Amino acid sequence: MEVVILLGGPGSGKGTTAERVRGRLGYIHISTGDMLREAVRNGSDVGLKADLYMKRGELVPDDIMIEIVVERMRRGNKDSKYLLDGFPRTSEQATLLEKSLADEKGEISQVLFLDAPSELLMKRLTGRRICRECGINYHVETMRPKKEGVCDACGGELYQRPDDHESTIKNRLDVYGRQTESLISRYKKKGMLKRIDSSVAVDNIVNVVVDILEG
């Protein structure tokens, strides 16, 4: 079992990059944000608990997160390759991931840090709109749909994520600085971290990531 960790602030492009890389290289994309949003939509116990934290831009407690991710990875086999988007986000999550991989004889092969300035992240997220049906991302200024509010690909309705309002984004950036940035030095010390400039065009980021993963 092989794991690639995508680290980076909210809006740094973790989800966009993972979606483009996954099909090309045969990785399974695990986005903890998407899993939680699905749980919220389904009204499950986990979803009801998680919703309270996500609305405020805070982290969902570690015990819930670890259970969700470990359960998802157990569905794979020893040859599975995972792209982890949004996990780990705290030192506790990182420690438990390492322990769980040791038990399964798996390893973290790369830690890719998508880095962009916070002002750019704020612009990307306040303008992001998402299709309710197929999940494609748009942006009100840089990636506008042909018809306002309607998805070009499937005609679905475009919506704004509830945590993509300016005050919640500020909190998400602050939480990232307080709780997740320490993982950058953790993996740097282990000699595993590769910094990638994510303020450039998506295609360029994807090419860099593919080159790294293809070794």
Write out the catalytic residue numbers.
14, 89, 128, 161, 172
Choose the binding region for ligand AP5 from 39-47, 73-81, 148-156, 195-203 (rule: CB under 6 A): 195-203
Q: Under the criterion CB under 6 A, does residue 86 sit at the interface with ligand AP5?
A: yes
Closer residue to ligand AP5 in complex, CB, 46/60: 60
Question: What are 105's strand-pairing partners?
Answer: none
Binding residue for ligand AP5, selected from 30, 46, 94, 172, defined by CB under 6 A: 172
Binding residue for ligand AP5, selected from 4, 65, 108, 209, defined by CB under 6 A: 65
For 209, phi then psi, to 5°, come to: -65, -45
Angle among Cα 168, 169, 170 to the nearest 5 degrees reads 90
Q: Under the criterion CB under 6 A, does residue 21 sit at the interface with ligand AP5?
A: no
Contact 5, 111 (CB under 8 A): yes
Ramachandran sector of residue 191 (left: φ over 0; alpha: ψ -120 to 50; beta: rest): left
Binding residue for ligand AP5, selected from 3, 60, 131, 208, defined by CB under 6 A: 60
Helix, strand, coil percent values for the chain (each to nearest 5): 50, 20, 30
Binding residue for ligand AP5, selected from 51, 83, 89, 108, defined by CB under 6 A: 89
CB under 8 Å to 79, separation ≥6 — which residues? Answer: 1
Q: Under the criterion CB under 6 A, does residue 106 sit at the interface with ligand AP5?
A: no
Q: Under the criterion CB under 6 A, does residue 206 sit at the interface with ligand AP5?
A: no
Q: Under the criterion CB under 6 A, does residue 33 sit at the interface with ligand AP5?
A: yes
Choose the binding region for ligand AP5 from 39-47, 85-93, 103-111, 183-191 (rule: CB under 6 A): 85-93
Contact 64, 50 (CB under 8 A): yes
Q: Strand runs (DSSP E) across the chain, as ranges?
A: 2-8, 28-31, 81-85, 107-115, 128-131, 137-139, 158-159, 193-197
What residue ranges bind ligand AP5 (CB under 6 A)?
A: 8, 10-16, 32-33, 36, 53-54, 57-60, 65, 86-87, 89, 93, 124-125, 128, 137, 139, 163, 172, 198, 201-202, 205
